[in-house]
Copies of this chain bind each other. A is one copy, B any other.
Amino acid sequence: MPAPQRTGGRSMTRIPLHAEDRERARVTFRENPLFSALDDEQLERVLDRTRLARLDPEAQLFEQDQPATDIYLLESGRIKLSRISPEGQEKVIHLVAPGNTFAEAVLFSGMARYPVTATALNACRVYCIDLQTYAGILRESIDACFAVMARLSRRLHEHVAEIDRLTLHNATFRVIAYLLDQIPEDQGGPDTEIRLDIPKHVIAARVSITPETLSRTFSRLQKQGWLSVQDNLIVVHDVDRLRQYIREGA
């Protein structure tokens, strides 16, 4: 039986992976760019040295300045990473979502101690991955490093695309909400005209987007046939469709 570890005044047990947990871990690890690039034998070596921690809400997984022994992969729940400032104030650095790793800084930068405190916000299941085992696999093979870099950079590209999509989607929503705000509630036939009485860069600032994104949004809406833009005259072809867009949030 493993001895419970004392962290932050609460006991927490890290247990080796039993067959079922290990199978579940294997699936989760294969989704993560730090592990998806390992070959089968390397992944099994990592799993041999991985333990499962179950945390109650408020429990600490590790504390700032504690010697670093593991990197972590959150399976379920939500983890808060925070630092205590010299003035004693807590600063939240990051909230970890399921499927993501944390504390890789100690791995890649060779830090001896954790730079943050990790606290469970709710009930969490966390895989604790032995730092030396994983680092050893990478250090023994440039190919493993290249594979991990490939996955990381591919994931980065996906995120850049996702942020772009979200930003544009967000912008479209706001621009439409702004335009509808210029149309009285009782109006809204086909081809309703809106004369913009303020410059476009001011409108952009009002809806918290860049002028460039405003232009992209207008041209996309124009291409979709939702409206026509001519200098400061906007013709909304179907006001109800815009109102429905806002109502449905899509």
Contact = CB atoms under 8 A, between A and B. Distances in A.
A156 interface: yes
A214 to B, nearest CB: 11
Question: Which range contains the number of A residues in contact with the other chain?
Answer: 35 or more
A202 to B, nearest CB: 12
Interface in A48-81: none
A185 interface: yes
B145 A208 contact: no
A188 to B, nearest CB: 13
Given A105-B150, A146-B108, A150-B109, A249 B174 contact: yes
Contacts of A105: 150, 154
A247 B180 CA distance: 9
Interface string A148-176: 11101111110111111011011001100
A205 B18 CA distance: 38
Interface stretch (A3-11, A38-46, A93-101, A218-226): A93-101
Interface in A96-141: 97, 100-102, 104-105, 108-110, 138-139
Given A146-B138, A161-B94, A177-B246, A34 B153 contact: yes
Contacts of A248: 206-208
Contacts of A160: 97, 100, 159
Most buried by B among A102, A110, A150: A150
A107 to B, nearest CB: 8
Contacts of A149: 104, 108, 138, 145, 148-149, 152
Given A208-B249, A248-B206, A163 B162 contact: yes
A19 interface: no
Contact of A250 (B155, B169, B208): B208
A198 interface: no
Interface of A: 33-34, 94-95, 97, 100-102, 104-105, 108-110, 138-139, 142, 145-150, 152-157, 159-164, 166-167, 169-170, 173-174, 177-178, 181, 185, 206-209, 246-250
25 contacts: A94-B157, A97-B160, A100-B157, A102-B157, A104-B150, A105-B150, A105-B154, A108-B146, A108-B147, A138-B142, A138-B149, A142-B142, A142-B145, A145-B146, A145-B149, A159-B160, A166-B166, A166-B167, A177-B177, A178-B247, A178-B249, A206-B247, A206-B248, A207-B248, A208-B248
